[in-house]
Every structure is written in structure tokens, then in C-alpha cells.
Chain A
């Protein structure tokens, strides 16, 4: 079975939220320089870097569009159904996964942890757009810089549903 992260740290989402905010700020701060170097060249640095950080901590699947801060710092791609707006209705009474009975449901954890977070804790209530499958295997951090991780399908528009 693939790694599903480091629960000790994941159960302290405040630390992770701070780390996320810091990383994001650093990236944005360095973005003029980074963009000058160019995304293709940076990919060779960033992808291995994300590999050795996000994989052990979150069980990252390199979807290329990280929404950890909106999902209780729990990677939604580790859900066997890869739900971005979970949990599904199949969660077992003990809070474990329908598909892998030995594993706690990723989304039960996500909702629990989101309530332990700071400012970003309420983002779990946002409707998340479909995954852009073409970003799989690319660097989510670079996609933050280029804004590509924010691109929903063109007609995707959340409007109030009366």
C-alpha cells in the first residue's frame, strides 16, 4: 500500500497551515526571479523537492494542484475515490474507509483537522472544482506561481443556487 502520510504531524494542522502559508509567501516573494529562470528548468528542482517533502508528510500523489489548506491539511488524493468534496456516503461506522477498511477515512480526518486549523479552517466548506488531470506529475508550487492550479474548467462558475 502506498504511504498515506505522517499522522503525527497531520494531526497538528496548525503547524502545517503555518508551513503552508510561509511556503506560499516565499514563493510569491521569489516569483519574479523564479519566473525569469523559467518553469521548465525549475521543474527539475521543484518536483524532487515536493517529492521528498509532501510525499512523506501527506502521502502526496502529485496531482499538481494542491488544496491541502482547504481540506484540513489532509490530501484528498489519498482518498481511493479521489474525492475533492468528500466524504462519500460509504464511510464505515468506525470512521474508516469503505474501500480500505483498515484505513481511517481521509475525509473524516479532513473535517476533524479543519476544525483545528486557523483562518483556513473554514475553507473545507468551499465547493472544489474538478481536478485538472493534465497537471498530474507537475509541481504544484510552480503551478501556484503561474496560476495554473487555480484554473477551473472555463464554464465552471459557482453562483448562488436559490
Chain B
């Protein structure tokens, strides 16, 4: 992205990326609790090692504390949130309102997602909304920010300042057309991308080569999604039950060959190796580390991947 262009939101994440530094973001798993302390505890671990903390939006269609609620708590503690917003649970009216509310609270980064289907979660009987799709949500957020209007054309007194993100899954079919779909996301307004978990670096490398060929790497910051596997069983669960996660047999085999007491260690080691590999791929601007309810592990991985210290908070 053109470094002389005006800042979208002046968020820490945006400044790190624009400065050409290798960015690190991490995912925080919202608690099943009305107590803010669980958020503070997890965030404390992540804040020291990441430039931004993703607050997931009922991922896997399982209900947890809301993304907006978590973001408000993160801001209260002085951290940098990346608010995830999916399209499964809210229509365009609620989404636009939440974007304004989030911006008013101080949220500067928003990740626009389609969202896992309701059938993936523990309340599959719920109504799925999907009024907008992720690309339309990006465009809607950009309309609020750049044109200072709701979709209806009604004017905002003060538009929100948002650094807009989107996800991409380089491993889901049609893998040869995924870069073209990424182009649509950029056209719609994506400033940064966080990818799905990478466990097969070769496929990701091919994807990035297409992205670079299409000239997209100069127009968007791409953060490679990574994370540890705790055990062969976790790996099996993730690749069969979590939508869109691809884990090649070789990775599962490697874990299976490891003695049980070293599974977690080996899982982290694999993750650290993948980070080292994706760092070398042209067009990769950072990593996004995800680990379901294992925030300490995330910190350890970022430490071992030699990505510390991070830039001081503003």
C-alpha cells in the first residue's frame, strides 16, 4: 500500500503495517461469562506480544461474549482491538449501527467476515441472517467511512475512522480462483487480510504468487494465519469439524509419531517453523496467531518465532 496515502484510522496495527514492520496479531477467545476479568486475563498475555487483538464474533456459530463487548473491555484496558464482524447474525441495519458504536468506543480495526453457518454451532436451529455478504459488508463500512453515509444515503455527522480487514482462505476450493476473489475484497475496501490457518505452506506459497502476480500485494497487507495444534486429536477435530481448516496428513502424522507428553511442544514447534517459512514469502506483511483458549501458547510461539519485542503502545 502507498505509504504516503493518508492513514485510514491511525490505529496501531495500521501504523505498524505502513511502517513496513512485520505485524503480529493474535486472536482472543471471548469467555462464556459476564465477568470482564476473563477478558482482561487473556488480553494481558496477548497485549505484550501482539500489535492488535482479534475479538471473535461467535466463531463456529457458538455463542460467547459479543465481539463489541470484548472490544469495549480491551479498550478500557488500553489495548488495541480488531473487531470481527460476521454476517450470520445481524442484518445491515444492526451492522451499520454496530460499526458506528464501535468507532465511538474507540475501535479502529474491523475484520469483515461472512461467518460460519449456524449448523456449525451448538444452536443449529437458529435463523441464519446473511443479509449482506462479507464483501458487501466491507463496502458498507467503507461507505460509512469514506462517503460519511449510511447505505440509504443518509448523512453521518461524524464518519467512523476504520482500518478495514477481510479474511481469505487459500486452502478452500476453488483454490486457483481464490486470488481473484481476494481482488474483489480489495476493490470493496479491504486494507488488510488475515488468512485462515496455514498448515500447508506450499499451497499458501502458490496462492501468494498469484496474489503478487495480480498486483494485489501492493494494495493490501496480508497477515498469514497460523496456530498450534495441541494433539493429534485436536488436529483431527479441526480438519473435520471446523469449517475451512485444511491440515495435510503429514502434519497429523508428525504429531502422532511424537510421544504424548511432547504433543503440545511439537505443535508449537510446527507453528514456529511455519511462521519462519511464511515470513520469507513475498507479499506477507505479518502473522495472525490463533489458538483456541490457549493464549499463553500464543505468547510463547511469538517469543520463539523471534517476533519480540513489539513496538511500544502509543
List residues of A whose CB falls within 8 A of some B CB: 80-95, 98-99, 105, 108, 111-112, 125-131, 133, 153-162
Contacts and interface: CB of A to CB of B under 8 A. Distances in A.
B2 A81 contact: no
B152 A87 contact: no
B139 interface: yes
B169 to A, nearest CB: 3
A89 to B, nearest CB: 3
Contacts, number: 131
A130 B142 contact: no
A98 B135 CA distance: 19
Contact of A130 (B114, B136, B172): B136
Nearest to B196: A89
- Looking at B92, B134, B174, B244, the one whose CB has the most chain A CB atoms below 10 A away is B174
Given A125-B180, A157-B147, A89 B130 contact: no
B87 to A, nearest CB: 8
Nearest to A156: B151
Interface of B: 1-2, 5, 87-88, 92, 114, 116-117, 119-120, 128, 130-136, 139-140, 142-143, 146-147, 149-153, 167-169, 171-174, 177, 180-181, 183-184, 186-190, 196, 219, 243-244, 246
Contacts of B169: 89-91
Given A89-B167, A125-B183, A83 B114 contact: yes
Nearest to B151: A153
B114 A81 contact: yes
A130 B131 CA distance: 8
Contacts of A161: 142, 186-190, 219
Contacts of A83: 114, 130, 133
A81 to B, nearest CB: 5
B242 to A, nearest CB: 9
Given A81-B133, A155-B147, A87 B188 contact: no
A158 B244 contact: no
A111 B114 contact: no
Contacts of B117: 80-81, 90, 98-99
B184 A156 contact: no
B144 to A, nearest CB: 9
Nearest to A85: B135
B154 to A, nearest CB: 8
Contact of A155 (B150, B183, B184): B150
B4 to A, nearest CB: 11
A100 B203 CA distance: 26
Contacts of B130: 81-83
Contacts of A133: 131
Contacts of A94: 173
Given A81-B117, A156-B143, A129 B136 contact: yes
A126 B139 CA distance: 13
A99 B151 contact: no
Contacts of B146: 159
Nearest to B92: A130
Nearest to B116: A90
A149 B2 CA distance: 37
